[in-house]
A and B are shown apart, each in its own frame.
Chain A
Amino acid sequence: MSERDLQDVLRKLKSSHSYQDSLSLLSKAKITLLKLHALTPQPTTSPSILHAAREIFEAGALLSIRAKDPDAFTRYVHQLTPFYELPSERLNPANSEKNKITGLYLLLLLTQGNYSGFHTELEGLELRQEGGLVEDDRFLGYPIKLERWLMEGSYDLVWKAMASREVPSEEYGVFSEILTSQIRNEIASCSETAYPSLPISSTKDLLFLDSEGAVISFAQSRGWDIKDGRIYFPNQAKAGVDEEGNEKVLSQMAIENTLGYARELETIV
């Protein structure tokens, strides 16, 4: 097992097109790396091996995205992080897929609803980006824009961004489906509180569904009532009921607090 084997595997990996083949090649490559002690960059590792290692992990990351395996992808991202942090003298950052993979990772965090992870990652990017804004990058700007729209509620812009197939690379398309269903659920929960009732025809546009039939099945899945071509939201009625119970809790709390103050006063005076 030497560096030449590694290059060999890498070349095969690049030319291979079937998922199974690539997977076995990847595990072989990783074993080779392990034997070369280059699974994580060591101070003694030679630049060419570092380069090869990075390429292998990047290939693995992209492959696992295409195979829709988020766990494997996250693992590859974590393995790549130390490589990306190496100074440029040791590992030339040219033709690395860093931004693409980081962008994908951000998108993954977004679809998982892990906003704190998303912002943590973003904070690091802001600091490490040399020259130019993070938002202006083709790969990184996409998830950042999506997040901003999602947070403020401009779901139609998110929808348009995904529908127009303006994704920076094919891998990004994988997430569109997840995101669509995610924003659909968001919109549904917003509509439940915001509208007293909705006509089915306009709900179709609201939820970005294809047909009225799809609207009906979606409404049923969320437990909405459908009467005379309008959708009514049963959850709204419930809100009024709690008032009575609240009153009791409120006065109990007030009594408890006052008793507490009296006790404290006693200890002080």
Chain B
Amino acid sequence: MPGKTPHTNGNDPVENGINGAEDIEMKDDAPNPLKAGKGKKAKEGEEEMTVVVPPSKGSKLSAPPPKDNEGDVAMDGFEEESGADTSAPKVDPVAQTIADIKSNFPLLERAVALFDARFSLRALRSISSIRKRLTPDILAQVIAETYPSTSPIAKSLLVALDRENITFGKPVSSEMEIDVESKTRNGKKEPKEIIPEIDVFLGILTQIYYLDSKINQQGAVFSSRLAERIHSLNRRTLDSLSARVYFYYSLFCEQLAPLPPSPSSPVVSIRPALLAALRTAVLRKDIETQSAVIVLLLRNYLSTSHITQADLLISHTRFPENASNTQVARYLYYLGCIRAIQLRYTEAHEHLTAATRKAPSSPSAAGFSQTATKLLLVVELLMGDIPDRATFRIPSLERALQPYLHLVQAVRVGLLGEFENVTRQYSDTFRRDGTYTLILRLRQNVIKTGIRMMSLSYSRISLRDICIRLKLESEESAEYIVAKAIRDGVIEASLDRERGFMKSKEVGDVYATREPGEAFHDRIRACLTLHDESVKAMRFPMNQHRLELKNAQEAREREREMAKEIQDGDLDEDDLGGEFEGM
């Protein structure tokens, strides 16, 4: 691992520190080896697939979070890191970081010039590697080198970083550096206009610095100002950046004093800002911000369990179809959450399956797929299905899903006692995952499975036996429960009230029903949509075909000309050379 990060060993623990800051809920579930193996390469695109889960139930969150070893390690690692950065003055990494940050500016400029969001996305992607080395001094220096000292934006950024005096003391030397460094670019002295994209990019870096050093209060204030500024700018090339700004803005608010489950938490107070951002984004057809803000709002509502509001939001907005994959995955997850709470399991199942499939497979997003899978498992159980055993063997999920494995086993056999043991034993875990209330609903499923098992194994069984086996309170209860199971189509049987037994009907041949045909049809349809989507996802450079056409046409013309000239016999060397240069 140390070999992978080029600069200092001291930087390594930061990985953990970052995670600690971002996904408090998840980190105890993320398996250790994965975290260690999370090199720079793995982080590439999906770093920002931070796990977004509604905070756990109960008031335990209001105490300073982590409860287990790994959490402590993360915290220690973080302190260690900040200590190392301030005490040991290493010149090389600083200069390297500054260069790294600056290397993104041409990308942003190109994004504006070519009007192609992919370049700004690339710049955003590099944040994850810069993040570890970020200090206020580095940021301040970058700002001082980029802006003319009179720029109000630079000033505000520096004030936010608490470095306004230090850096403006040496603008001359930094200008010198520009000359030295940017020979590759047009590093002439003429004051170049700084595009707002760069302002916002530096703003995001500042936000990240606040977030990683847990200065949440200031971070929230700074973010709200940054968001206001973005609001006033109407530039399509800013979209992906502004989405990120709102993301961190709401992250700050979540970590401020009264933590989310409490109704007076700051998350409630940023709702108007987010809703306004959503409105503007819709009007400007700003898909990036639109999708990001919808997801943030859903997360926000769910964190205080305002499920009705979240549902209303969904019914009143249309999630942009071509939003980025990570946002779609998150959106589907929240949608699944809401539908599961509303007992619409089929829909919930559909959304959650899609969410787990869309979840990036890189280890940094393990937390998200864990959370989504947990919920998916519970929903599958609620639908009366037994989840696939293989799910529990996937290395990145195995440990986190342990309690759920026991749960599934209890439900599968239909033992009510076992089921109650499991829920009691893991109630804390389930509450933290936010699946506890859903799991409580499983009780009836356990009973139904039990009845189904009995109806399959006995052609006739007395109600008393059913009552004993399911540990029910009375025979009357058993009778009603079995009657309900028959009505709901769980079992094929009939009851005899006078003699007090249940008589199972002969099980028909499954292959004579439409079921296998439907299953087959479903799978084929899934394959076809996959094919269609991959065709749609193919990318071609803009106007490339026209260019080729033009080239082909030109070539043909030249050929014709040449043929003509050869025919005429007056072709000489110079002509040929000239032609080729022109190409």
Give chain A's interface residues, CB within 8 Å of chain B.
85-87, 115-116, 119-120, 122-124, 126-128, 130-131, 148, 151-157, 186-187, 189-196, 198-199, 202, 206, 250, 253-254, 257, 261, 264, 268
The answer on a CB contact under 8 Å between B480 and A120 is no
State whether the Cβ of B563 lies closer than 8 Å to any Cβ in chain A. no
State whether the Cβ of B447 lies closer than 8 Å to any Cβ in chain A. yes
Once the chains are docked, how many angstroms separate the CA of A114 from the CA of B326? 34
Once the chains are docked, how many angstroms separate the CA of A85 from the CA of B258? 13
Given contacts A120-B341, A191-B483, contact A85 B495 (CB under 8 A): no
| A interface secondary structure, majority | helix
Contact of A190 among B264, B476, B480 (CB under 8 A): B480
Once the chains are docked, how many angstroms separate the CA of A44 from the CA of B579? 81
Provide the residues of chain A in CB contact with B344, threshold 8 Å: 116
- Other A-B contacts than A116-B341, A202-B497, 14 sampled, CB-CB below 8 A, are A85-B264, A87-B258, A87-B262, A120-B311, A123-B437, A127-B305, A148-B440, A148-B443, A152-B447, A154-B480, A194-B487, A195-B497, A196-B494, A202-B498
Given contacts A152-B443, A193-B486, contact A124 B57 (CB under 8 A): no
Once the chains are docked, how many angstroms separate the CA of A63 from the CA of B462? 49
State whether the Cβ of B422 lies closer than 8 Å to any Cβ in chain A. no
The number of chain B residues touching the other chain, given as a range, is 35 or more
Given contacts A123-B307, A127-B304, A257-B517, contact A156 B480 (CB under 8 A): yes
Provide the residues of chain B in CB contact with A130, threshold 8 Å: 59
The answer on a CB contact under 8 Å between A253 and B497 is no
A-B contact pairs, 6 of them (CB 8 A): A86-B263, A151-B441, A152-B484, A187-B480, A191-B483, A268-B531
> Which residue, of A193, A196, A261, has the highest number of chain B Cβ atoms within 10 A?
A193
What's the minimum C-beta distance from B344 to chain A, rounded to whole angstroms?
A: 7
The answer on a CB contact under 8 Å between A193 and B487 is yes
What's the minimum C-beta distance from B204 to chain A, rounded to whole angstroms?
A: 32
State whether the Cβ of B524 lies closer than 8 Å to any Cβ in chain A. yes
Once the chains are docked, how many angstroms separate the CA of A249 from the CA of B489? 21
Once the chains are docked, how many angstroms separate the CA of A71 from the CA of B494? 41
The answer on a CB contact under 8 Å between B483 and A116 is no
Once the chains are docked, how many angstroms separate the CA of A155 from the CA of B480? 6
> Which residue, of B58, B486, B487, has the highest number of chain A Cβ atoms within 10 A?
B487
Provide the residues of chain A in CB contact with B477, threshold 8 Å: 153-154, 156-157
The answer on a CB contact under 8 Å between B487 and A120 is no
Contact of A128 among B263, B440, B441, B528 (CB under 8 A): B263
State whether the Cβ of B482 lies closer than 8 Å to any Cβ in chain A. yes
What's the minimum C-beta distance from A88 to chain B, rounded to whole angstroms?
A: 9
Given contacts A157-B473, A195-B494, contact A190 B444 (CB under 8 A): no
The answer on a CB contact under 8 Å between A154 and B262 is no
Residues 430 to 472 of chain B near chain A (Cβ within 8 Å): 436-437, 440-441, 443-444, 447, 472
Sorted nearest first, the 7 A-B pairs with minimum C-beta distance are A153-B484, A116-B342, A85-B263, A190-B483, A194-B483, A152-B444, A153-B481
Once the chains are docked, how many angstroms separate the CA of A223 from the CA of B21? 65
What's the minimum C-beta distance from B248 to chain A, rounded to whole angstroms?
A: 25
What's the minimum C-beta distance from A28 to chain B, rounded to whole angstroms?
A: 30
What's the minimum C-beta distance from B9 to chain A, rounded to whole angstroms?
A: 42
The answer on a CB contact under 8 Å between B307 and A124 is yes
Given contacts A116-B343, A254-B517, A264-B528, contact A122 B484 (CB under 8 A): no
Once the chains are docked, how many angstroms separate the CA of A259 from the CA of B175? 71
Provide the residues of chain A in CB contact with B341, threshold 8 Å: 116, 119-120, 123
> Which residue, of B308, B474, B483, B487, has the highest number of chain A Cβ atoms within 10 A?
B483
Minimum CB distance partner of A125 in chain B = B305
The answer on a CB contact under 8 Å between B305 and A124 is yes
State whether the Cβ of B336 lies closer than 8 Å to any Cβ in chain A. no
State whether the Cβ of B157 lies closer than 8 Å to any Cβ in chain A. no
Provide the residues of chain A in CB contact with B473, threshold 8 Å: 154, 157
State whether the Cβ of B514 lies closer than 8 Å to any Cβ in chain A. yes
Once the chains are docked, how many angstroms separate the CA of A268 from the CA of B344? 35
Provide the residues of chain B in CB contact with A124, threshold 8 Å: 305-307
State whether the Cβ of B226 lies closer than 8 Å to any Cβ in chain A. no
Contact of A154 among B307, B440, B481, B514 (CB under 8 A): B481
